[in-house]
Amino acid sequence: MAVLAFETSCDETSAAVIRGGRILANVVSSQVKLHAEYGGVVPELAAREHLRNLVPVAQSALDQSGVQSREIEAVAATRGPGLPGALMVGLKSAQALAFVLRRPFVGVHHHEAHLYSPWIQGRPSQARFETFQPNVSLIVSGGHTLLVHVESTLKHRLLGSTMDDAAGECFDKVGKLLGLAYPAGPEMDRLAREGNPSAFDFPRPMINERNHDFSFSGLKTSVRYFLRDHPELAQEAKSLRDLCASVQCAIVDVLVSKTVRAARQCGVHCVTASGGVTCNSQLRQRLADRCARDHLELLLAEPSLCTDNAGMIGVLAELKIQRDRSGTGLEEDILPGWKLENA
């Protein structure tokens, strides 16, 4: 028996097949090129593209998994948060499928799924919940920056979130100021590898505040003013690399410092991280160094599971269906602004 899962909350159309915590197939069709010329995700285009891609993506996930439709035990989809039109395509298609197959439907909170993605490891990817331990989880993407205390499986408490821009948004907006293409995070990461992180001193917003919230818009603004006064620096290859390394270092300093402080305050011995920005090589390295120094176990989502994918949706749905056989209901609607506290 298997779970067929869909993810369409933003600009990735994804379908996955999960059995016994193992991801048998996880097909992701990214729309990033489509949105690149607009410098960000265009909601209407995203929804139309999901409509176009959902059936072929689901078909290839089923083909790759070798699972027959009669073996599907439950159908799952992201219910929120996300773009309304985009969510609607995945959720309503999944519910229609569940109705026809006479199987339970499970609506999943996108960030709750991110919380458990670091526990999915190995090749083939397998959820290892038998090794679960209470942790503080950092979710960093283009749309969100969250710190969450995960007390046990399916039990979490939001500690803090960003007051303005998300960390990924900061990478993307600063990258745009530097003349890099959207999304700029991966390119900044690459350029920063040969740059000097101490070349320029940018602010580390809220790093010393006792709460678990973040703010990245001030950092972006400070880069904007800096470039207004020194426009030539973004044009020259060496100083561009130094700028990327310095901004990246400011973002990573804040993320690492606040995550480890939250772990200490919550009294946990484990830190996890997921979301697109967790692909960042410096963030991965610095979290590893800091956690080793502080005797904290660290689980980073594998890069392919950091960005949005239906595999993580299916893994969480399977966990939920094991606890509550009836699913969450065919009548439920999308929740574009669904708060993690209410999941």
Regarding 11 and contact with Zn ion (CB under 5 A), the answer is no
Regarding 279 and contact with ligand KG4 (CB under 6 A), the answer is yes
Closest approach, Cβ 149 to ligand KG4, in A, equals 21
Contact of residue 82 among ligand KG4, Zn ion, none (CB under 5-8 Å per partner type)? none
Regarding 186 and contact with ligand KG4 (CB under 6 A), the answer is yes
Residue 168: C-alpha distances to residues 56, 146, 276, 278, 328 (Å): 29, 12, 7, 10, 31
Distance CA 30, CA 11 (A): 6
Contact of residue 279 among Zn ion, ligand KG4, none (CB under 5-8 Å per partner type)? ligand KG4
Determine whether 153 is exposed, middle or buried from the number of CB atoms within 10 Å of its CB (0-12, 13-18, 19+).
middle
Q: Which part of the chain contacts ligand KG4 (CB under 6 A), choosing from 138-146, 227-235, 236-244, 311-319?
A: 138-146
Site string for Zn ion, 303-332 (x = CB under 5 A): -----x------------------------
Residue 338: name the closest of 72, 91, 3, 25 by CA.
91
Closest approach, Cβ 104 to ligand KG4, in A, equals 27
Chosen residue from 141, 145, 162, 272 binding ligand KG4 by CB under 6 A: 141
Residue 203, preceding bond cis, omega within 30 degrees?
no
# of chain residues touching ligand KG4 (CB under 6 A): 19
Q: Residue for token digits 């470039």?
A: 227
Segment 107-136, which members bind ligand KG4 (CB under 6 A)? none
**How far is residue 128 CA from its own chain's centroid?**
19
Distance CA 63, CA 110 (A): 25
Closest CB to Zn ion among residues 242, 308: 308
Regarding 168 and contact with ligand KG4 (CB under 6 A), the answer is yes
Regarding 80 and contact with ligand KG4 (CB under 6 A), the answer is no
Segment 107-146, which members bind Zn ion (CB under 5 A)? 141
Distance CA 89, CA 260 (A): 38
Residue 316: name the closest of 86, 185, 137 by CA.
137
Contact of residue 143 among ligand KG4, Zn ion, none (CB under 5-8 Å per partner type)? ligand KG4
- Residues whose CB is less than 8 angstroms from the CB of residue 245 and which lie 6 or more positions away in sequence, other chains included: 191, 192, 193, 195, 196, 197, 199
Regarding 311 and contact with ligand KG4 (CB under 6 A), the answer is no
Closest CB to ligand KG4 among residues 186, 218: 186
Rg over CA atoms, the chain: 20
Regarding 255 and contact with ligand KG4 (CB under 6 A), the answer is no
Are the C-beta atoms of residues 189 and 276 closer than 8 Å to each other? no
Regarding 307 and contact with ligand KG4 (CB under 6 A), the answer is yes
Closest approach, Cβ 108 to Zn ion, in A, equals 12
Q: Which part of the chain contacts ligand KG4 (CB under 6 A), choosing from 64-72, 120-128, 155-163, 185-193?
A: 185-193
What are the beta bridge partners of residue 76? 5, 106
Closest CB to ligand KG4 among residues 184, 317: 184
Regarding 137 and contact with ligand KG4 (CB under 6 A), the answer is no
Q: Which two tokens stand for residue 340?
A: 């993690």
Q: Which part of the chain contacts ligand KG4 (CB under 6 A), choosing from 63-71, 121-129, 139-147, 210-218?
A: 139-147
Q: State the pairing for strand pair 120-121/145-152.
A: unpaired
Query: Which DSSP state fits 342?
Result: G
Query: Which DSSP state fits 332?
Result: P
Closest approach, Cβ 282 to ligand KG4, in A, equals 8
Residues of the shown chain interacting with Zn ion in the complex, contacts defined by CB under 5 A: 141, 308
Q: What are the residues binding ligand KG4 (CB under 6 A)?
A: 10, 141-143, 168, 171-172, 183-186, 189, 275-277, 279-280, 307-308
